[in-house]
């Protein structure tokens, strides 16, 4: 099969999903598509995420990535810069939380930061473009819900807001991860799917955010343990149904095989909107590869 930038990007995301679900047969395919994607000019942030998934898979079996990484000097340079910038952003979040007398595990990371830690587990996977932090309501950071801020956060701005309805169920809807000795709280897989899908389906969200790609990889990676029923319940409880349904429909346009994970009969999409969503899906991919006119 001959690949262009679009087909290589979509295939890369498919293989990332297989790697994320610890499919031991995915290693060779993921490595090959990383090479192809790099050769045809898929943007470096996507190749970087693919390499990080490959590296995690290699670590599980005790294999070295040194030779492979040496083949991607531009990607490695990007990762080094991304990690430095992501660490600087995390330090700012820690400083702000300390000023609120909060430990990081008392707050909820959302946006790209949550994807970076919760899905890829490496600070160098990609440069975080969106970060929102939910804090207990009593802290006093304004009235706007962090959910709404997370959906429309502009690139490279850290948003702080009230946890609101998430506050009473924080333990149920989140998990705590350790990174560099610091405890961070991120959404559960189901909540992360809801938030990513809502951002993809939010017309006011920045189109430069690759949330659709992370959502697709996560859906493919977590398909065996993901509870669609729980996703639907959370969507309704948080009042995000129209946006989540649009977001899931968009990634299903790009990855029809996701019907196995999110059946079309679970999505409430008016017939007249389906054509528009197909156009929106194609536009997101074209923007991602830099081919939008």
Q: Are residues 214 and 137 in the same domain?
A: no
Name the domain boundary from 187, 213, 240: 187
Q: Are residues 32 and 42 in the same domain?
A: yes
User: pTM of the entire structure?
Assistant: 0.94
Residue 31 in this model has a pLDDT that exceeds 90: yes
Residue 22 in this model has a pLDDT that exceeds 90: no
Give the pLDDT confidence score for residue 265 in this predicted structure.
Answer: 82
Q: Are residues 181 and 200 in the same domain?
A: no
- Among 59-63, 159-163, 276-280, name the one with the lowest average pLDDT: 59-63
- Among 61-70, 94-103, 120-129, 284-293, name the one with the lowest average pLDDT: 284-293
Question: Between residues 142 and 239, which one has the greater pLDDT?
Answer: 239
Grade residue 153 by pLDDT with cuts at 50, 70 and 90. confident
Name the domain boundary from 187, 221, 252: 187
Q: Are residues 151 and 125 in the same domain?
A: yes
Q: Are residues 64 and 102 in the same domain?
A: no
Give the pLDDT confidence score for residue 292 in this predicted structure.
Answer: 56
Give the pLDDT confidence score for residue 140 in this predicted structure.
Answer: 72
3-class SS letters over 121-188: CCCCCCCCCEEEEEECHHHCCCCCEHHHHHHHCCCCEEEEEECHHHHHHHHHHEEEEEECCEEEEEEC
Q: Are residues 47 and 95 in the same domain?
A: no
- Position 76 in a domain: no
Q: Are residues 45 and 93 in the same domain?
A: no
Grade residue 293 by pLDDT with cuts at 50, 70 and 90. very low
User: Looking at residue 119, what DSSP letter applies?
Assistant: I
Percent of the chain with pLDDT over 70: 98
- Position 149 in a domain: yes
Name the domain boundary from 187, 202, 231: 187
Q: Are residues 23 and 104 in the same domain?
A: no
Q: Are residues 195 and 278 in the same domain?
A: yes
- Position 217 in a domain: yes
Q: Are residues 183 and 236 in the same domain?
A: no
Number of domains in the chain: 3
- Among 20-24, 93-97, 221-225, name the one with the lowest average pLDDT: 20-24
Nearest Cα neighbor of 243 from 262, 267, 223 is 267
The range of the structural domain enclosing residue 64 comes to: 1-71
Q: Are residues 286 and 205 in the same domain?
A: yes
Give the pLDDT confidence score for residue 228 in this predicted structure.
Answer: 87
Calpha distance 174→185 (Å, rounded)? 6
Mean pLDDT (whole number) for 270-285: 88
Q: Are residues 233 and 161 in the same domain?
A: no
Give the pLDDT confidence score for residue 41 in this predicted structure.
Answer: 96
Mean pLDDT (whole number) for 115-140: 91
């Amino acid at each position: 099969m001959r690949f262009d930038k679009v087909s290589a990007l979509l295939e890369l995301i498919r293989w990332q999903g297989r790697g994320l679900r610890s499919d031991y047969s995915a290693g060779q395919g993921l490595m090959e598509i990383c090479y192809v994607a790099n050769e045809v000019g898929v943007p470096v942030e996507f190749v970087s995420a693919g390499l990080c998934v490959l590296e995690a898979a290699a670590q599980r079996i005790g294999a070295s990535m040194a030779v492979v990484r040496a083949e991607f000097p531009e990607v490695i340079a990007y990762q080094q810069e991304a990690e430095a910038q992501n660490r600087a952003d995390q330090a700012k979040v820690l400083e702000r939380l300390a000023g609120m007398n909060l430990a990081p595990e008392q707050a909820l990371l959302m946006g790209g930061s949550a994807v970076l830690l919760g899905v890829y587990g490496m600070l160098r996977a990609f440069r975080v473009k969106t970060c929102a932090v939910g804090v207990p309501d009593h802290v006093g950071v304004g009235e706007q819900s962090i959910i709404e801020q997370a959906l429309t956060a502009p690139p490279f701005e850290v948003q702080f807001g009230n946890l609101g309805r998430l506050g009473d169920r924080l333990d149920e809807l989140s998990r705590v991860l350790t990174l560099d000795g610091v405890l961070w709280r991120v959404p559960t897989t189901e909540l992360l799917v809801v938030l990513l899908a809502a951002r993809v389906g939010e017309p006011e969200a920045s189109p430069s955010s690759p949330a659709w790609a992370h959502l697709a990889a996560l859906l493919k990676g977590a398909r065996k343990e993901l509870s669609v029923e729980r996703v639907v319940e959370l969507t309704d409880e948080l009042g995000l149904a129209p946006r989540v349904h649009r977001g899931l429909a968009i990634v299903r346009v790009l990855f029809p095989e996701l019907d196995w994970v999110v059946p079309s009969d679970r999505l409430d999409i008016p017939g007249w909107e389906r054509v528009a969503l197909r156009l929106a899906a194609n536009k997101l991919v074209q923007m991602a590869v830099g081919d939008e006119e």
